[in-house]
Amino acid sequence: MKKVAFYTLGCKLNYSESSSIGRMFEQKGYQKVEFNESPDIFIINTCSVTENADKKCRKIVREAQKINSDGYVAIIGCYAQLKPQEISEIPGVDAVLGAAEKFRLVELIDTFEKTPSGQPAQILASHIDDAVDYHTSYSLNDRTRTFLKVQDGCDYPCAYCTIPLARGKSRSDTIANIVKAANEIAARDVKEIVLTGVNIGDFGLHGGERTETFLDLVKALDEVEGILRFRISSIEPNLLTDEIIEFVAQSKRFAHHFHIPLQSGSNKVLGLMKRRYKRELYTERVEKIKALMPDCCIGVDVIVGHPGETKEYFNESYQFLNELDISYLHVFTYSERENTSALAIRPIIPKSERAERSKMLHILSEKKKRHFYEEQIGKTGVVLFEDEIQNGQMLGFTGNYVRVAVKYDPLLINETKEIRYDYLNDGGLMEVLELEEEVLHH
Protein backbone atom coordinates (compact mmCIF):
# COMPACT_ATOMS: atom_id res chain seq x y z
CA MET A 1 0.00 0.00 0.00
CA LYS A 2 1.51 3.33 -1.07
CA LYS A 3 1.68 6.07 1.52
CA VAL A 4 0.60 9.69 0.94
CA ALA A 5 1.07 12.71 3.22
CA PHE A 6 -0.25 16.27 3.07
CA TYR A 7 1.13 19.57 4.29
CA THR A 8 -1.33 22.46 4.15
CA LEU A 9 -0.47 26.14 4.25
CA GLY A 10 -2.91 29.03 4.52
CA CYS A 11 -6.62 29.23 5.06
CA LYS A 12 -9.40 26.98 6.34
CA LEU A 13 -10.48 26.49 2.74
CA ASN A 14 -7.15 24.83 1.94
CA TYR A 15 -7.57 22.53 4.96
CA SER A 16 -11.02 21.44 3.77
CA GLU A 17 -9.66 20.71 0.28
CA SER A 18 -6.56 18.81 1.50
CA SER A 19 -8.79 16.66 3.67
CA SER A 20 -11.15 15.86 0.78
CA ILE A 21 -8.30 15.07 -1.64
CA GLY A 22 -6.80 12.87 1.09
CA ARG A 23 -10.05 10.87 1.31
CA MET A 24 -9.94 10.39 -2.50
CA PHE A 25 -6.48 8.83 -2.12
CA GLU A 26 -7.70 6.57 0.70
CA GLN A 27 -10.64 5.41 -1.42
CA LYS A 28 -8.14 4.45 -4.13
CA GLY A 29 -6.18 2.30 -1.66
CA TYR A 30 -3.48 4.69 -0.48
CA GLN A 31 -2.57 4.94 3.18
CA LYS A 32 -2.67 8.49 4.52
CA VAL A 33 0.24 9.11 6.91
CA GLU A 34 1.96 11.97 8.70
CA PHE A 35 4.50 14.02 6.77
CA ASN A 36 7.45 12.58 8.75
CA GLU A 37 6.42 8.93 8.24
CA SER A 38 8.40 8.52 5.01
CA PRO A 39 5.49 8.71 2.53
CA ASP A 40 5.83 7.74 -1.14
CA ILE A 41 3.95 10.89 -2.17
CA PHE A 42 4.14 14.33 -0.56
CA ILE A 43 1.34 16.75 -1.44
CA ILE A 44 1.93 20.37 -0.44
CA ASN A 45 -1.16 22.59 -0.58
CA THR A 46 0.12 26.16 -0.83
CA CYS A 47 -1.07 29.66 -0.07
CA SER A 48 0.15 32.85 -1.69
CA VAL A 49 -1.46 35.60 0.35
CA THR A 50 1.94 36.90 1.47
CA GLU A 51 5.46 36.48 0.12
CA ASN A 52 6.25 34.50 3.26
CA ALA A 53 3.97 31.69 2.05
CA ASP A 54 6.18 31.25 -1.03
CA LYS A 55 9.28 30.84 1.16
CA LYS A 56 7.44 28.32 3.35
CA CYS A 57 6.70 26.17 0.29
CA ARG A 58 10.42 25.95 -0.57
CA LYS A 59 11.28 25.00 3.00
CA ILE A 60 8.68 22.20 3.12
CA VAL A 61 10.00 20.75 -0.18
CA ARG A 62 13.50 20.62 1.36
CA GLU A 63 12.11 18.85 4.44
CA ALA A 64 10.27 16.33 2.25
CA GLN A 65 13.53 15.50 0.47
CA LYS A 66 15.26 14.89 3.81
CA ILE A 67 12.45 12.57 4.95
CA ASN A 68 12.37 10.52 1.73
CA SER A 69 14.64 11.54 -1.15
CA ASP A 70 12.77 9.12 -3.46
CA GLY A 71 9.36 10.53 -2.49
CA TYR A 72 7.21 12.14 -5.19
CA VAL A 73 6.46 15.82 -4.47
CA ALA A 74 3.33 17.45 -5.90
CA ILE A 75 2.44 21.12 -5.30
CA ILE A 76 -1.15 22.37 -5.42
CA GLY A 77 -2.98 25.47 -4.15
CA CYS A 78 -2.88 29.21 -4.81
CA TYR A 79 0.88 29.57 -5.25
CA ALA A 80 0.80 26.67 -7.75
CA GLN A 81 -1.82 28.46 -9.86
CA LEU A 82 -0.11 31.86 -9.71
CA LYS A 83 3.52 30.80 -10.28
CA PRO A 84 3.70 27.26 -11.70
CA GLN A 85 6.91 27.96 -13.65
CA GLU A 86 8.68 29.31 -10.57
CA ILE A 87 7.67 26.26 -8.50
CA SER A 88 8.63 23.81 -11.26
CA GLU A 89 12.23 25.00 -10.90
CA ILE A 90 12.42 24.33 -7.13
CA PRO A 91 14.77 21.33 -6.69
CA GLY A 92 12.81 18.28 -5.54
CA VAL A 93 9.42 19.24 -6.99
CA ASP A 94 7.98 16.66 -9.42
CA ALA A 95 4.57 18.10 -10.38
CA VAL A 96 2.69 21.39 -10.14
CA LEU A 97 -1.11 21.33 -10.46
CA GLY A 98 -3.27 24.41 -10.91
CA ALA A 99 -6.74 25.25 -9.59
CA ALA A 100 -8.56 23.34 -12.35
CA GLU A 101 -6.34 20.24 -11.96
CA LYS A 102 -5.80 19.67 -8.22
CA PHE A 103 -8.94 17.57 -7.70
CA ARG A 104 -7.78 15.27 -10.54
CA LEU A 105 -4.52 14.56 -8.71
CA VAL A 106 -5.57 11.08 -7.60
CA GLU A 107 -6.37 9.98 -11.19
CA LEU A 108 -3.27 11.64 -12.67
CA ILE A 109 -0.71 10.49 -10.10
CA ASP A 110 -0.22 7.04 -11.68
CA THR A 111 0.92 8.67 -14.93
CA PHE A 112 3.49 10.89 -13.20
CA GLU A 113 7.16 9.96 -13.12
CA LYS A 114 9.80 11.32 -10.78
CA THR A 115 11.57 14.30 -12.33
CA PRO A 116 15.26 13.63 -13.12
CA SER A 117 17.63 15.76 -11.07
CA GLY A 118 18.20 19.19 -12.58
CA GLN A 119 15.05 19.02 -14.73
CA PRO A 120 11.99 21.25 -14.17
CA ALA A 121 8.87 19.60 -12.79
CA GLN A 122 5.84 18.62 -14.83
CA ILE A 123 3.24 21.44 -14.93
CA LEU A 124 -0.50 20.91 -15.26
CA ALA A 125 -1.96 24.37 -14.74
CA SER A 126 -4.67 25.71 -17.05
CA HIS A 127 -5.62 29.38 -17.29
CA ILE A 128 -7.64 30.42 -14.23
CA ASP A 129 -10.73 30.94 -16.44
CA ASP A 130 -10.81 27.13 -16.82
CA ALA A 131 -11.33 26.69 -13.06
CA VAL A 132 -15.12 26.53 -13.31
CA ASP A 133 -15.97 23.22 -11.62
CA TYR A 134 -17.03 23.10 -8.00
CA HIS A 135 -15.72 20.40 -5.65
CA THR A 136 -17.49 19.73 -2.37
CA SER A 137 -14.87 19.67 0.41
CA TYR A 138 -14.70 19.36 4.16
CA SER A 139 -12.02 18.60 6.73
CA LEU A 140 -12.24 15.67 9.11
CA ASN A 141 -8.96 15.88 11.01
CA ASP A 142 -10.52 17.20 14.18
CA ARG A 143 -13.41 15.35 15.74
CA THR A 144 -14.95 18.39 17.40
CA ARG A 145 -14.92 20.84 14.48
CA THR A 146 -15.07 20.60 10.68
CA PHE A 147 -14.42 23.20 7.98
CA LEU A 148 -17.08 22.84 5.28
CA LYS A 149 -16.47 24.63 1.98
CA VAL A 150 -19.64 26.18 0.57
CA GLN A 151 -18.23 28.59 -2.05
CA ASP A 152 -15.05 29.14 -4.08
CA GLY A 153 -13.51 31.93 -6.13
CA CYS A 154 -14.17 35.69 -6.03
CA ASP A 155 -15.44 38.35 -8.42
CA TYR A 156 -14.21 41.28 -6.30
CA PRO A 157 -11.10 43.01 -7.74
CA CYS A 158 -9.63 44.31 -4.45
CA ALA A 159 -6.43 46.25 -5.16
CA TYR A 160 -4.15 44.15 -2.91
CA CYS A 161 -5.48 40.66 -3.60
CA THR A 162 -4.44 37.81 -5.91
CA ILE A 163 -7.20 35.38 -4.90
CA PRO A 164 -9.34 35.91 -8.06
CA LEU A 165 -6.21 35.06 -10.10
CA ALA A 166 -5.53 32.00 -7.94
CA ARG A 167 -9.06 30.61 -7.49
CA GLY A 168 -11.12 31.98 -10.36
CA LYS A 169 -14.66 33.28 -10.54
CA SER A 170 -17.19 33.02 -7.72
CA ARG A 171 -19.07 29.72 -7.76
CA SER A 172 -20.94 27.70 -5.17
CA ASP A 173 -22.05 24.29 -4.12
CA THR A 174 -25.81 23.63 -4.10
CA ILE A 175 -27.72 23.80 -0.83
CA ALA A 176 -28.77 20.17 -1.34
CA ASN A 177 -25.11 19.06 -1.58
CA ILE A 178 -24.09 21.10 1.44
CA VAL A 179 -26.92 19.72 3.58
CA LYS A 180 -25.92 16.20 2.47
CA ALA A 181 -22.29 16.89 3.51
CA ALA A 182 -23.47 18.34 6.86
CA ASN A 183 -25.45 15.16 7.53
CA GLU A 184 -22.38 13.02 6.69
CA ILE A 185 -20.33 15.13 9.11
CA ALA A 186 -23.00 14.82 11.84
CA ALA A 187 -22.90 11.01 11.43
CA ARG A 188 -19.19 11.16 12.42
CA ASP A 189 -20.08 12.76 15.75
CA VAL A 190 -18.62 16.15 14.84
CA LYS A 191 -20.39 18.84 16.86
CA GLU A 192 -19.40 22.08 15.10
CA ILE A 193 -19.23 23.03 11.42
CA VAL A 194 -17.42 26.17 10.27
CA LEU A 195 -18.74 27.40 6.90
CA THR A 196 -15.84 28.47 4.73
CA GLY A 197 -15.18 29.87 1.26
CA VAL A 198 -13.40 32.76 -0.45
CA ASN A 199 -16.42 35.08 -0.39
CA ILE A 200 -19.23 33.13 1.28
CA GLY A 201 -21.71 36.00 1.35
CA ASP A 202 -21.69 35.73 -2.47
CA PHE A 203 -23.01 32.16 -2.15
CA GLY A 204 -25.54 30.95 -4.71
CA LEU A 205 -23.81 31.45 -8.08
CA HIS A 206 -24.01 28.41 -10.37
CA GLY A 207 -22.57 28.92 -13.85
CA GLY A 208 -22.61 32.68 -13.32
CA GLU A 209 -26.34 32.71 -12.46
CA ARG A 210 -27.58 33.33 -8.90
CA THR A 211 -30.06 30.58 -8.08
CA GLU A 212 -29.75 30.50 -4.26
CA THR A 213 -28.65 32.89 -1.50
CA PHE A 214 -26.52 32.67 1.62
CA LEU A 215 -29.64 33.30 3.72
CA ASP A 216 -31.32 30.29 2.04
CA LEU A 217 -28.28 28.19 2.96
CA VAL A 218 -28.23 29.35 6.59
CA LYS A 219 -31.94 28.55 6.98
CA ALA A 220 -31.49 25.05 5.49
CA LEU A 221 -28.48 24.21 7.69
CA ASP A 222 -30.30 25.39 10.82
CA GLU A 223 -32.56 22.33 10.39
CA VAL A 224 -29.70 19.77 10.25
CA GLU A 225 -29.99 17.40 13.21
CA GLY A 226 -26.90 16.22 15.08
CA ILE A 227 -24.81 19.38 14.67
CA LEU A 228 -24.64 21.48 17.83
CA ARG A 229 -23.59 24.67 16.06
CA PHE A 230 -22.61 26.25 12.78
CA ARG A 231 -20.12 29.10 12.64
CA ILE A 232 -19.81 31.58 9.76
CA SER A 233 -16.08 31.94 9.06
CA SER A 234 -15.89 35.34 7.35
CA ILE A 235 -18.43 37.47 5.50
CA GLU A 236 -18.06 40.78 3.65
CA PRO A 237 -19.90 43.68 5.35
CA ASN A 238 -21.78 44.61 2.18
CA LEU A 239 -23.09 41.02 1.90
CA LEU A 240 -24.01 40.61 5.58
CA THR A 241 -27.65 41.64 5.33
CA ASP A 242 -30.04 42.60 8.12
CA GLU A 243 -31.98 39.40 7.30
CA ILE A 244 -28.90 37.21 7.92
CA ILE A 245 -28.17 38.98 11.22
CA GLU A 246 -31.81 38.68 12.32
CA PHE A 247 -31.93 34.98 11.43
CA VAL A 248 -28.67 34.16 13.30
CA ALA A 249 -29.99 36.06 16.35
CA GLN A 250 -32.94 33.66 16.72
CA SER A 251 -31.54 30.49 15.11
CA LYS A 252 -31.22 27.12 16.82
CA ARG A 253 -27.71 26.32 15.67
CA PHE A 254 -25.83 29.38 14.37
CA ALA A 255 -23.17 30.72 16.73
CA HIS A 256 -23.32 34.32 17.90
CA HIS A 257 -20.00 35.05 16.23
CA PHE A 258 -19.26 37.02 13.07
CA HIS A 259 -15.92 37.61 11.40
CA ILE A 260 -16.30 40.67 9.16
CA PRO A 261 -13.37 41.98 7.07
CA LEU A 262 -12.94 45.76 7.34
CA GLN A 263 -9.35 46.16 5.98
CA SER A 264 -9.27 49.88 6.82
CA GLY A 265 -11.20 52.33 8.98
CA SER A 266 -10.41 55.16 6.56
CA ASN A 267 -12.88 55.76 3.71
CA LYS A 268 -10.05 57.13 1.54
CA VAL A 269 -8.01 53.92 1.96
CA LEU A 270 -11.10 51.74 1.43
CA GLY A 271 -11.54 53.55 -1.91
CA LEU A 272 -7.90 52.90 -2.87
CA MET A 273 -8.36 49.25 -1.92
CA LYS A 274 -11.49 49.05 -4.17
CA ARG A 275 -13.59 47.79 -1.29
CA ARG A 276 -17.36 47.86 -1.83
CA TYR A 277 -18.50 49.80 1.23
CA LYS A 278 -17.64 52.77 3.41
CA ARG A 279 -16.92 52.61 7.11
CA GLU A 280 -20.40 53.98 7.93
CA LEU A 281 -21.94 50.74 6.59
CA TYR A 282 -19.54 48.75 8.77
CA THR A 283 -20.65 50.69 11.84
CA GLU A 284 -24.29 49.96 10.98
CA ARG A 285 -23.58 46.22 10.75
CA VAL A 286 -21.81 46.16 14.14
CA GLU A 287 -24.59 48.16 15.79
CA LYS A 288 -27.29 45.88 14.32
CA ILE A 289 -25.49 42.75 15.58
CA LYS A 290 -24.93 44.16 19.06
CA ALA A 291 -28.55 45.39 19.34
CA LEU A 292 -29.88 41.86 18.66
CA MET A 293 -27.02 39.84 20.23
CA PRO A 294 -25.24 41.89 22.95
CA ASP A 295 -22.91 38.94 23.73
CA CYS A 296 -21.99 38.34 20.06
CA CYS A 297 -18.28 38.08 19.28
CA ILE A 298 -17.18 40.22 16.30
CA GLY A 299 -13.78 39.65 14.69
CA VAL A 300 -12.28 42.08 12.19
CA ASP A 301 -9.66 41.72 9.42
CA VAL A 302 -7.43 44.79 8.99
CA ILE A 303 -4.55 45.46 6.58
CA VAL A 304 -1.81 47.87 7.68
CA GLY A 305 0.62 49.67 5.41
CA HIS A 306 -1.43 49.48 2.21
CA PRO A 307 -0.09 51.91 -0.43
CA GLY A 308 -1.69 55.30 0.12
CA GLU A 309 -2.24 54.72 3.85
CA THR A 310 -0.58 57.88 5.15
CA LYS A 311 -0.01 58.37 8.88
CA GLU A 312 -3.15 60.50 8.97
CA TYR A 313 -5.27 57.74 7.38
CA PHE A 314 -3.78 55.08 9.66
CA ASN A 315 -4.57 57.17 12.74
CA GLU A 316 -8.12 57.62 11.42
CA SER A 317 -8.39 53.84 11.02
CA TYR A 318 -6.97 53.21 14.50
CA GLN A 319 -9.46 55.62 16.12
CA PHE A 320 -12.35 54.06 14.24
CA LEU A 321 -11.39 50.57 15.47
CA ASN A 322 -10.77 51.80 19.00
CA GLU A 323 -14.30 53.19 19.25
CA LEU A 324 -16.02 50.23 17.56
CA ASP A 325 -17.74 47.59 19.73
CA ILE A 326 -15.72 44.65 18.40
CA SER A 327 -14.00 41.69 20.08
CA TYR A 328 -10.66 41.05 18.33
CA LEU A 329 -8.62 41.91 15.21
CA HIS A 330 -6.82 39.78 12.62
CA VAL A 331 -4.01 42.09 11.54
CA PHE A 332 -2.35 41.60 8.15
CA THR A 333 0.73 43.55 7.10
CA TYR A 334 0.44 44.63 3.46
CA SER A 335 2.66 42.60 1.16
CA GLU A 336 3.32 43.47 -2.50
CA ARG A 337 1.84 40.89 -4.87
CA GLU A 338 2.45 40.70 -8.62
CA ASN A 339 -0.40 41.63 -10.98
CA THR A 340 -2.33 43.65 -8.39
CA SER A 341 -3.43 47.26 -8.94
CA ALA A 342 -2.13 48.33 -5.48
CA LEU A 343 1.41 48.32 -6.94
CA ALA A 344 0.61 51.57 -8.81
CA ILE A 345 -0.64 53.43 -5.71
CA ARG A 346 1.54 55.97 -3.91
CA PRO A 347 2.92 56.63 -1.37
CA ILE A 348 4.51 53.26 -0.63
CA ILE A 349 4.71 52.71 3.12
CA PRO A 350 8.18 51.66 4.42
CA LYS A 351 8.29 48.14 5.89
CA SER A 352 9.46 49.48 9.26
CA GLU A 353 6.35 51.69 9.42
CA ARG A 354 4.11 48.75 8.44
CA ALA A 355 5.62 46.72 11.30
CA GLU A 356 5.05 49.55 13.79
CA ARG A 357 1.39 49.89 12.76
CA SER A 358 0.90 46.14 12.98
CA LYS A 359 2.28 46.18 16.53
CA MET A 360 -0.11 48.99 17.53
CA LEU A 361 -3.12 47.09 16.20
CA HIS A 362 -2.05 43.82 17.86
CA ILE A 363 -1.97 45.65 21.20
CA LEU A 364 -5.41 47.13 20.45
CA SER A 365 -6.71 43.65 19.60
CA GLU A 366 -5.54 42.27 22.96
CA LYS A 367 -7.25 45.16 24.72
CA LYS A 368 -10.50 44.57 22.80
CA LYS A 369 -10.43 40.84 23.46
CA ARG A 370 -9.79 41.28 27.17
CA HIS A 371 -12.63 43.80 27.43
CA PHE A 372 -15.00 41.42 25.60
CA TYR A 373 -14.02 38.52 27.89
CA GLU A 374 -14.40 40.64 31.02
CA GLU A 375 -17.94 41.56 29.92
CA GLN A 376 -18.80 37.83 30.00
CA ILE A 377 -17.73 37.21 33.64
CA GLY A 378 -20.68 36.06 35.74
CA LYS A 379 -22.70 35.05 32.66
CA THR A 380 -23.21 31.51 31.35
CA GLY A 381 -22.29 29.87 28.06
CA VAL A 382 -22.15 26.45 26.40
CA VAL A 383 -18.62 25.14 25.80
CA LEU A 384 -17.61 22.47 23.29
CA PHE A 385 -14.48 20.87 24.75
CA GLU A 386 -11.60 19.94 22.47
CA ASP A 387 -8.79 17.42 22.60
CA GLU A 388 -6.30 20.17 23.41
CA ILE A 389 -4.40 20.35 26.67
CA GLN A 390 -2.41 23.33 27.99
CA ASN A 391 -0.71 23.27 31.40
CA GLY A 392 -2.87 20.36 32.59
CA GLN A 393 -6.07 22.08 31.51
CA MET A 394 -8.37 21.31 28.61
CA LEU A 395 -9.71 24.01 26.34
CA GLY A 396 -12.93 24.69 24.49
CA PHE A 397 -14.88 27.46 22.79
CA THR A 398 -18.33 28.78 23.56
CA GLY A 399 -20.73 29.71 20.78
CA ASN A 400 -19.66 33.34 21.06
CA TYR A 401 -16.00 32.32 20.73
CA VAL A 402 -14.83 32.69 24.32
CA ARG A 403 -11.93 30.30 24.96
CA VAL A 404 -12.48 28.44 28.21
CA ALA A 405 -10.03 26.44 30.35
CA VAL A 406 -11.03 23.74 32.86
CA LYS A 407 -9.27 20.95 34.73
CA TYR A 408 -8.50 18.08 32.33
CA ASP A 409 -11.11 15.33 32.16
CA PRO A 410 -10.93 12.84 29.24
CA LEU A 411 -14.71 12.31 29.46
CA LEU A 412 -15.27 15.92 28.42
CA ILE A 413 -13.58 15.68 25.00
CA ASN A 414 -16.13 16.47 22.25
CA GLU A 415 -18.82 17.08 24.85
CA THR A 416 -20.66 20.28 25.67
CA LYS A 417 -21.41 21.78 29.05
CA GLU A 418 -23.16 24.87 30.23
CA ILE A 419 -20.72 26.84 32.35
CA ARG A 420 -20.50 30.05 34.29
CA TYR A 421 -17.60 32.34 33.39
CA ASP A 422 -15.64 32.84 36.62
CA TYR A 423 -12.48 34.85 35.93
CA LEU A 424 -9.74 35.56 33.38
CA ASN A 425 -6.40 33.88 33.99
CA ASP A 426 -2.98 35.40 33.24
CA GLY A 427 -2.96 33.76 29.80
CA GLY A 428 -6.18 35.52 28.82
CA LEU A 429 -8.31 32.36 29.01
CA MET A 430 -11.65 32.22 30.79
CA GLU A 431 -11.39 29.99 33.85
CA VAL A 432 -14.30 27.87 35.05
CA LEU A 433 -14.08 26.73 38.66
CA GLU A 434 -16.93 24.23 38.75
CA LEU A 435 -18.71 22.16 36.15
CA GLU A 436 -22.21 20.76 36.44
CA GLU A 437 -22.28 17.00 36.98
CA GLU A 438 -24.32 16.28 33.85
CA VAL A 439 -22.98 16.67 30.35
CA LEU A 440 -25.68 18.54 28.44
CA HIS A 441 -25.48 17.09 24.93
CA HIS A 442 -24.22 13.79 23.57
CATH number of residue 238's parent domain = 3.30.750.210
Q: What is the pTM of this model?
A: 0.92
**268 and 359 co-located in one domain:** yes
Q: Would 328 be classed as within a structural domain?
A: yes
238 and 350 share a domain?
no
State residue 50's pLDDT score.
66
Taken in order 324, 326, 327, 331, the sign of the CA dihedral is negative
For the chain, residues with pLDDT lower than 70 are: 50, 53, 142-143, 435-442
- Domain assignment present for residue 441? The answer is no
Same domain flag for 74 and 7: yes
Same-domain status, 123 and 136: no
Domain assignment present for 47 = yes
pLDDT at 52: 74
Q: Are residues 44 and 96 in the same domain?
A: yes
Residues 36 and 79 in one domain: yes
Is residue 164 domain-shared with residue 120, that is, in the same domain?
A: no
Residue 44 domain flag: yes
Cα 164 to Cα 54: distance, rounded to the nearest angstrom: 18
What does the pLDDT read at residue 142?
Answer: 65
Q: How far apart are CA 291 and CA 379, in angstroms?
A: 18
Contact 431, 422 (CB under 8 A): yes
Instruction: Say yes or no: 73 and 167 in one domain.
Output: no
State the SS3 of the chain: CCEEEEEECCCHHHHHHHHHHHHHHHHCCCEECCCCCCCCEEEEEECCCCHHHHHHHHHHHHHHHHHCCCCEEEEEEHHHHHCHHHHHCCCCCCEEECCCCHHHHHHHHHHCCCCCCCCCCEEECCCHHHCCCCCCCECCCCCCEEEEECEECCCCCCCCCCHHHHHCCCEECCHHHHHHHHHHHHCCCCCEEEEECCCHHHCCEECCEECCCHHHHHHHHCCCCCCCEEEECCCCCCCCCHHHHHHHHHCCCECCEEEEEEECCCHHHHHHHCCCCCHHHHHHHHHHHHHHCCCCEEEEEEEECCCCCCHHHHHHHHHHHHHCCCCEEEEEECCCCCCCHHHHCCCCCCHHHHHHHHHHHHHHHHHHHHHHHHHHCCCEEEEEEEEEEECCEEEEEECCCCEEEEECCHHHCCCEEEEECCEECCCCCEECCCCCCCCCEC
The reply to whether 20 and 34 lie within a common domain is yes
Examine the domain organization and report whether 151 and 204 are in the same domain.
yes
CATH number of the CATH domain containing 351: 3.30.750.200
Domain boundary among 337, 356, 376: 376
- Tell me whether residue 411 is in a domain: yes
CA angle (77 as vertex; 73, 83 as ends), nearest 5: 85
CATH number at residue 36: 3.40.50.12160
Summarised one tens digit per residue, pLDDT across range 337-346 is 999 999 999 9
Show which of 129, 162, 179 is a domain's final residue. 129
442 lies in a domain? no
Q: Last residue of some domain: 102, 129, 156? A: 129
What are the tens digits of pLDDT across the range 398-436? 999 999 999 899 999 999 999 999 999 888 889 887 765
Domain count, the chain: 4
Share of the chain above pLDDT 90, in %: 84
Q: Is 283 domain-assigned?
A: no
pLDDT of 115 reads: 85
What local confidence, expressed as pLDDT, does residue 11 receive?
A: 85
Q: 203 and 143 in one domain?
A: yes
Residues 142 and 247 in one domain: yes
State which residues form the domain around 180: 132-255
| Structural domain contains residue 284 | no
